[in-house]
Structure 1
């Protein structure tokens, strides 16, 4: 897909990036430009394909050396760079967890833990809430009516979704019914919800990194909860009609019901 300097205006999902990252530019940024714009305070720098090829190692090993392979003119990798900018502590911690498994099993072995980390890294969504139990229970039960209609007002007040997986931003370039994030629910202090976006991302990154370090959720199967992104109030115009949520192919009931 061609470069679009107005990409954050395409829809409410991509609008999360508006004002936080430098995307309003006439052409694709080079890795050098990304480093100047984003990497000043990061634990990594972005490198091109030729530099990566010269390292003779896998992606995670390159990141462990402080270098993030970033393909030119590629939305997936550009969004990956932007997530590094917004969640530097959490991204670095996830790579350290990859490296722990690489040290035990080798770079060519994909352990279940590494697969789960990658799934979150690509498709993760963070739901920030003041109290975790209710929202997490509704997600776990696939109670979409209560989640999206019964609690609709809360989504504009103190249930705040944040994209973490860069593949979700890539998919949001052309949204489709079926677009689903893998959610992790995080409790945040009430003051969090009144902060400006940049401050929210700093606090959320610190909270997520602490959670990942203390709980290591990817050691166990199915640590994440599916959340249909187009059902989030304010993120898709069609969901203003309650009938939108009757699509059981998208808003699926729990399998064990």
Structure 2
């Protein structure tokens, strides 16, 4: 797909990035532009295919060395760079965990834990909620009508979603029924929800990194909660109708047992 400098206006999902970065050029941003716009204060830099090949190492090893392989004219890698800009602490932590398993088991052996980390890295969504909130219970039990209809007024106020998985942004270029995130719930202090968006990302990145480091989330099977992305109020026009949530192929009930 060709470059679209107005990608944040395509829909409300991509609109989450509006005002956080500016790419006005008519063609794909070059690597120097990505590094200037997104990596100025990061512990990593984005490198091209030739530089990556010259390193003669695996992807995670390059990242551990502070160099993120980034393919040109590629939406997946472009959004990967965007997530590095927004969640640098958490991205470093996830790669550190990859490296620990690489050192123990070798780079060619993909352990279940690494697969779970990668799943979150690609399709993760972070739900910021206030202390004492029941979001986790609603997600675990797939209580979609309560989550999206009964508590609809909570979204954008007490419940604020932040996409972490860069593959979700790529898929959001052409949204489809079935688009599902894997959610992690993070409790944030009350004053967080009144902060400007850029400040929220910095605070959330720090808290998410701390929470993941203190948990053994990725040691367990199916650690992440499915969340039908198009069900989030304001993110998809069709969900203004309550009947939208009656599609049990998309808003699936919890499996018994």
TM-score range, shorter chain: over 0.9
- Alignment of 1:10 onto 2:10: yes
Asked whether the 8 Å contact 1:132–1:186 carries over to 2, the reply is no
Root-mean-square deviation (CA, aligned residues, Å) is 0.9
Residue number in structure 2 paired with 1:177:
177
Q: Distance in 2 between matches of 1:140 and 1:23?
A: 39
Unmatched 5+ residue regions in structure 2? none
Cα distance, 1:256 vs. partner? 1.1
Residue number in structure 2 paired with 1:148:
148
Residue number in structure 2 paired with 1:30:
30
Secondary structure of residue in 2 paired with 1:127: strand
Cα distance, 1:24 vs. partner? 3.0
Residue number in structure 2 paired with 1:101:
101
Residue number in structure 2 paired with 1:238:
238
> What per-residue deviation string (whole Å, max 9, x for no partner) do you get for residues 25-73 of structure 1?
2211111111111111101000001111111111100000000000000
Q: Distance in 2 between matches of 1:170 and 1:205?
A: 21
Residue number in structure 1 paired with 2:79:
79
Residues 238/204 of structure 1: CA separation in 2 closer, same or farther (3 Å cut): same
Residue number in structure 2 paired with 1:55:
55
Residue number in structure 2 paired with 1:196:
196
Unmatched 5+ residue regions in structure 1? none
Asked whether the 8 Å contact 1:142–1:253 carries over to 2, the reply is yes
Tell me the matched-pair count: 257
Cα distance, 1:133 vs. partner? 4.9
Residue number in structure 2 paired with 1:90:
90
Asked whether the 8 Å contact 1:132–1:185 carries over to 2, the reply is no
Q: Distance in 2 between matches of 1:133 and 1:159?
A: 9
Q: Distance in 2 between matches of 1:163 and 1:188?
A: 16
Which region of structure 1 is more displaced relative to structure 2, 238-247 or 218-227? 218-227
Q: Distance in 2 between matches of 1:168 and 1:132?
A: 28
Which region of structure 1 is more displaced relative to structure 2, 188-197 or 16-25? 16-25
> What per-residue deviation string (whole Å, max 9, x for no partner) do you get for residues 200-227 of structure 1?
0000000011011111311111110000
Residues 216/30 of structure 1: CA separation in 2 closer, same or farther (3 Å cut): farther
Residue number in structure 1 paired with 2:158:
158
TM-score, scaled to structure 1: 0.98
Secondary structure of residue in 1 paired with 2:134: helix
Residue number in structure 2 paired with 1:208:
208
Secondary structure of residue in 1 paired with 2:238: helix
TM-score, scaled to structure 2: 0.98
Residues 94/132 of structure 1: CA separation in 2 closer, same or farther (3 Å cut): farther
